[in-house]
Amino acid sequence: MDKLLHDSLRPATCPTGIPSEIINLVDTVDWTGFGTAYGEAEGSIPHYLKNLFCSDSNVANEATHQLWCSLCHQHAFISSAALPAYPILIRALINLDEKPKIEILDIMSGFASCLHRGALNKSLIEWEIKLYNLMLADRPLFKDLAEHPDKDINNFSQAILSDLNA
């Protein structure tokens, strides 16, 4: 792979620093063995999760886009790295501003949609069942967000609840 292409795939470095509690939370996960739509998670997902909390909006926006592509590719495929990423995404959902909140809800809507289809087909595997149960436990949060005045936050939250309650 040529150097320019390889460098374009490398996660950006947040110039402003990431909160230490987020770094510790992400770094406690052994990312080896978890996959994404593009391969192994360990070289990318931890960086993107940390970058969600970057105060540089360009870095944070790129992180949400890459997580969407990697964890729940086009709402058609859910990767195993979604399971350990989920608690960090919930932390971001609770603590970040509306723009990243919308993007995170889009990712979670993809999770819920894929899990719903798997549940209907009775084809969920162990890690997917665990993720489904985590999302079910967070229904009160999604119910609160379904009342949010921002229409995107509201719509994604309602879609999540619809898939979880079906």
For residue 148, the enclosing domain spans 3-165
pLDDT band at 14; cut points 50, 70, 90: confident
How many C-beta neighbours within 10 Å does residue 78 have?
Answer: 24
- pLDDT for position 10: 62
Among 71-85, 87-101, 148-162, which is the least confidently predicted range? 71-85
State the total domains in the chain.
Answer: 1
Q: What are phi and psi of 35, to 5 degrees?
A: -115, 165
- pLDDT for position 38: 85
What's the average model confidence in pLDDT over 45-74? 91
Judge whether residue 154 has pLDDT over 90: yes
Which of the pair, 112 or 8, is modelled with greater confidence? Answer: 112
pTM reported for the whole predicted model: 0.90
Distance CA 159, CA 10 (A): 32
Q: What is the pLDDT of residues 63-78, one digit of tens each?
A: 999 999 999 877 888 9
- pLDDT for position 46: 93
Collect all residues with Cβ–Cβ distance below 8 Å to 11 and sequence separation of at least 6.
Answer: 44, 47, 48, 51, 62, 63, 66
Judge whether residue 5 has pLDDT over 70: no
Which of the pair, 3 or 128, is modelled with greater confidence? Answer: 128
Mean per-residue pLDDT over the chain, rounded? 89
- pLDDT for position 9: 53
**H helix or E strand, kind and range, residue 2:** none
Judge whether residue 47 has pLDDT over 50: yes
